[in-house]
Amino acid sequence: MKDVLDMGISELRNAMDEGKVSAQELTTQYLDRIEAVDKKVRAYVTVTEEVALSQAKAADEMIKKGKAGPLTGIPLGIKDVICTKGIPTTCSSRMLKDFRPPFNATVMERLAEQGAVMLGKLNMDEFAMGSSTENSAFFETRNPWDLDRIPGGSSGGSAAAVAARMCVASLGSDTGGSIRQPASHCGVVGLKPTYGLVSRYGLVAFASSLDQIGPLTRSVEDAALLLEAVAGHDSRDSTSLPRPVPPFAKACRQAMEGLRVGIPKEYFIDGVQEEVVGSIRQALRVMQDMGAELVDISLPHTEYAIATYYIIATAEASSNLSRYDGVKYGFRAKDYSNLMDMYKETRAQGFGPEVKRRIMLGTYCLSAGYYDAFYKKASQVRTLIVDDFKKAFKECDVIAAPVAPTTAFKIGEKVNDPLKMYLSDIFTIPVNLAGIPGLSLPCGFDQNGLPIGLQLMAGHLQEEILFTAASNLEKGLGLNNRWPDLT
């Protein structure tokens, strides 16, 4: 039998149903893998060994009774921004270092219903603010393809754990590219779903109008299966869309012939690494050979996306993070003289530099006399970006573009230059502003052997078209059997 660490969700489902491997055996192998490899990669903040083995035992009982779903017994990693009852949920911040939520996020409830196994919580940029996982209060996560490089961010631990085969798949969150960018840098599949498709109840908020939970996986079909499990309406999230969950995995088996693929001129600009452009052009030729039609399109307001995002996202962060005051839960400073001093000291000591920077930017944008000049204006430009995509999708079914301007950069390379760091999300941010789905798919490697991702975007609630295009391209490229060697 093929090594279970090399198997995806469907293969493992068949192997467990046929009695070739039990959920407990599978979970033990993954826990052993974490023990062997994570000292190099450092993807996990918390490994939940006892919980995982208990869940695996329960999964084996479900399988025996013939009640197994697609994810029953499948070992997963969870980004440490998603609430897990009684298990530390730190957001990789000193502010929540000892916080144990009294409830589960909706996505965790849905995984539990299926009998999935949680191996642990994964490292990230503090409060999901960053593009490199260097902003974690605990430690840096390293890219499994090159341990001197970043894995991307903020879901760097989620992407690195999948690439290093320390979980079958993982959940991350994406506010401005935080699933797709690390997926690109680590050579895995990452999906940011349509805003409202997956409940945000129990997702620790960064920017509420942009945040969305999504899967990071080894294959497009695995992403479809994981999305099917966690998507769907939730009355506890006012932004959750009241619609049935489509059979996403079925869409992976549809042909791509006749699909119109839009090529936005604004995404192929100076400053993008030549090998990135070359790999994407080659992938587009493969799509064309498979029956897709390439269409030139324009998204004219793309150049304003970064500025718009860093006003809206920081303003919402300023509001959301005001709850961390040392009174209700989380970290509290030890030495203070009065209530105001306690607030100041707690927030000064509890938050890291990047989080403080964004809170200050957002507070300024919302302050008296500046709201209209900044937040209101940014909201108006956001509407123009939404309209750009609506017009584009009249001419095409999906849009293809780079995920990031370069492959993974060296650890420490951009940490002292926030603007350079922010620009690494230039191609992912518009998707969040528009609320549409975006997927990162491995499409090649640069001369240093570092993965390159292709971004596919589709219209509002058009995940099925996205999965059809991505799964066909994945088969055409044949890259998803190549993994980093960490031995």
pLDDT in tens, 175-227: 999 999 999 999 999 999 999 999 999 999 999 999 999 999 999 999 999 99
User: Per the residue annotation, which of 22, 79, 132, 199 is the catalytic one?
Assistant: 79
Has residue 193 been placed in a domain? Answer: yes
What is the pTM assigned to this prediction?
0.97
User: Per the residue annotation, which of 178, 219, 279, 318 is the catalytic one?
Assistant: 178
43: which residues sit within 8 A by CB, 6+ positions away? 77, 122, 123, 141, 151, 156, 157, 158, 160, 161, 164, 166
Domain span at residue 117? 4-261+395-477
Give the pLDDT of residue 124: 98
Give the pLDDT of residue 112: 98
Encoded amino acid at 102, one letter: P
Note the pLDDT tens digit of each residue in 359-418: 999 999 999 889 999 999 999 999 999 999 999 999 999 999 999 999 999 999 998 888
Has residue 381 been placed in a domain? Answer: no
Here the CATH number for the domain that contains residue 463 is 3.90.1300.10
Query: Which H helix or E strand runs over 184?
Result: helix 180-186
Tokens at residue 261, please? 């693929």
> With pLDDT > 70 as the criterion, what percentage of the chain qualifies?
100
Which residue from 21, 33, 25, 24 is spatially nearest to 483, judged by alpha carbons?
33
Whether residue 79 lies in the annotated active site: yes
Find the mean pLDDT for residues 314-340: 95
Which residue from 486, 446, 58 is spatially nearest to 280, judged by alpha carbons?
446
3-state SS record for 217-261: ECCHHHHHHHHHHHECCCCCCCCCCCCCCCCHHHHCCCCCCCCEE
Find the mean pLDDT for residues 260-288: 96
- DSSP SS3 for 51: helix
Mean pLDDT of the chain: 97
Which residue from 180, 191, 71 is spatially nearest to 469, judged by alpha carbons?
191
Has residue 293 been placed in a domain? Answer: no
Has residue 289 been placed in a domain? Answer: no
Has residue 315 been placed in a domain? Answer: no
Give the pLDDT of residue 416: 87
Give the pLDDT of residue 1: 72
Phi and psi, residue 159, nearest 5°: -75, -45
> With pLDDT > 90 as the criterion, what percentage of the chain qualifies?
95
Q: Which residues of 418-448 are buried (b: 16+ CB within 10 A; e: fewer)?
A: beebbbbbbbbbbbbbbbbbbbbbbbbbbee
User: Per the residue annotation, which of 22, 93, 131, 154 is the catalytic one?
Assistant: 154
Has residue 72 been placed in a domain? Answer: yes
Give the pLDDT of residue 174: 98
Has residue 186 been placed in a domain? Answer: yes
Note the pLDDT tens digit of each residue in 89-145: 999 999 999 999 999 999 999 999 999 999 999 999 999 999 999 999 999 999 999
Give the pLDDT of residue 473: 98
Which residue from 210, 193, 213 is spatially nearest to 202, judged by alpha carbons?
213
Give the pLDDT of residue 424: 85
Q: Report the number of distinct structural domains present in the chain.
A: 1
Q: What's the CA gap between 133 and 232, in Å, rounded? A: 29
Give the pLDDT of residue 246: 97
Note the pLDDT tens digit of each residue in 464-482: 999 999 999 999 999 877 8
Has residue 349 been placed in a domain? Answer: no
Q: What's the CA gap between 166 and 77, in Å, rounded? A: 8
Note the pLDDT tens digit of each residue in 339-359: 999 999 999 999 999 999 999
Give the pLDDT of residue 420: 85
Contact by Cβ (8 Å): 111, 230: yes
